[in-house]
């Protein structure tokens, strides 16, 4: 039996702290897509590119349930979750794509 791949539930933030919650099986690829604007829509329009929180599980159903739970939370509760684990709101993927930082200074973490 082949184990399921990890599933990630993640929260991205813009510089003005607009939040986006998503789910993926490839966190690195998905964050890259958000950072480079490859995904049209909300995150591109509001420049929501900083990975500020993520969790993982090896069960897709658990990940989907957790994503639904986080999306149902009020903003204050999401902020509390982020600040519990990342009080400075650092971009947890800030050093994943060094070439992007050289190309576009607005993508730098911090």
Residue whose C-alpha is closest to residue 44's, from 14, 75, 78 = 14
Q: Does any domain span residue 36? A: yes
Tens of pLDDT, residue by residue over 27-36, are 999 999 999 9
State the CATH number of the domain containing residue 29: 3.40.1440.10
Q: What is the pLDDT along the chain (110 residues), one digit of tens a residue?
A: 666 689 999 999 999 999 999 999 999 999 999 999 998 999 999 999 999 999 999 999 999 999 999 999 999 999 999 999 999 999 999 999 988 866 555 444 44
Q: Does any domain span residue 89? A: yes
Beta bridge partners of 8: 24, 56
DSSP track, 16-43: T--EEEEEES-HHHHHHHHHTT-S-SHH
Q: Does any domain span residue 1? A: no
Alpha helices in the chain (DSSP H): 27-35, 42-45, 60-72, 75-85, 98-103
Q: Identify the domain containing residue 26 by its residue range.
A: 7-107
Q: Does any domain span residue 2? A: no
Number of domains within the chain: 1
Q: Does any domain span residue 59? A: yes
The pairing of strands 19-24 and 50-57 is unpaired
Q: Does any domain span residue 66? A: yes
Model-level pTM?
Answer: 0.87
pLDDT of res. 5: 80
Q: Does any domain span residue 31? A: yes
Q: Does any domain span residue 54? A: yes
């Amino acid at each position: 039996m082949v184990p399921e791949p990890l599933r990630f539930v993640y929260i991205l933030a813009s510089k003005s702290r607009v939040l986006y919650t998503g789910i993926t099986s490839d966190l690195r690829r998905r964050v890259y897509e958000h950072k480079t604007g490859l995904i049209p829509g909300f995150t591109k329009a509001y420049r929501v590119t900083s990975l500020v929180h993520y969790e993982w599980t090896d069960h897709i159903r658990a990940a989907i349930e957790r994503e639904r739970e986080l999306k149902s939370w009020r903003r204050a509760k999401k902020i509390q979750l982020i600040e519990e684990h990342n009080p400075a709101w650092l971009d947890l993927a800030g050093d994943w794509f060094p070439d992007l930082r050289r190309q576009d200074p607005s993508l730098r973490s911090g």
